Amino acid sequence: MQLVDAQPKFSQKMPIPVNSHRGQRILSDDLAETQQRQLSIEKKLIKQTEDSLIIIITFNIPINPNSIAPSTIKINDVPLDSSVLIKFNRVGNEVHIFIPLSKIIEIDIDNTKELVVLIEKINAYAYDGIKSDDRSIENLEFGVTYQ
């Protein structure tokens, strides 16, 4: 009878730097600094329904939902009001901005069907309380064409 080792064989990996604090394993500070990623945009998508224009922005890391409000969004240098609805996905890395078409028509006086969207100061969500300038976008500006 041949014995079979039931334990799986794991490859040797570099140890993760941890500190022991009252029996709890916590990551050391030098590892946390290397894992921070700079906030950037993965994609922008524009959808249009019968009554609204939807701007969908996907980021590479979750953003702070308090950093995006209708007052921080300008279209053609006109700040938006409370008629704008902002929703986030569960992860927090995707924001959906619902703008009523009546508001778009009011802003686009020349009827060019082209808009310039500006979102001021977007901050990444800080799980660890660390806030740094590379985890925020100062002024996100892009063009939008609608039908």
37-81, pLDDT tens digit by residue? 778 888 999 999 999 999 999 988 888 888 899 999 999 999 999
For strand 52-59 and strand 41-48, is the pairing parallel, antiparallel, or unpaired? antiparallel
> Exposure pattern of 88-115 as b/e (b: 16+ CB <10 Å)?
eeeeebbbebbbbeebbeeebeeeeeeb
87, pLDDT greater than 90: yes
Q: Which of these ranges, 4-8, 35-39, 44-48, 113-117, has the smallest mean pLDDT?
A: 4-8
Q: So what CATH class is 40-145?
A: mainly beta
Q: Which residue has the tokens 């014995």?
A: 3
Number of Cβ within 10 Å of residue 46's Cβ equals 16
Considering the chain, what percentage of its residues have pLDDT values greater than 70? 69
Q: Residue 34: its pLDDT value, please? A: 44
26-47, pLDDT tens digit by residue? 555 554 444 567 788 889 999 9
Is this prediction's pTM over 0.75? no
Q: Residue 124: its pLDDT value, please? A: 84
4, pLDDT greater than 70: no
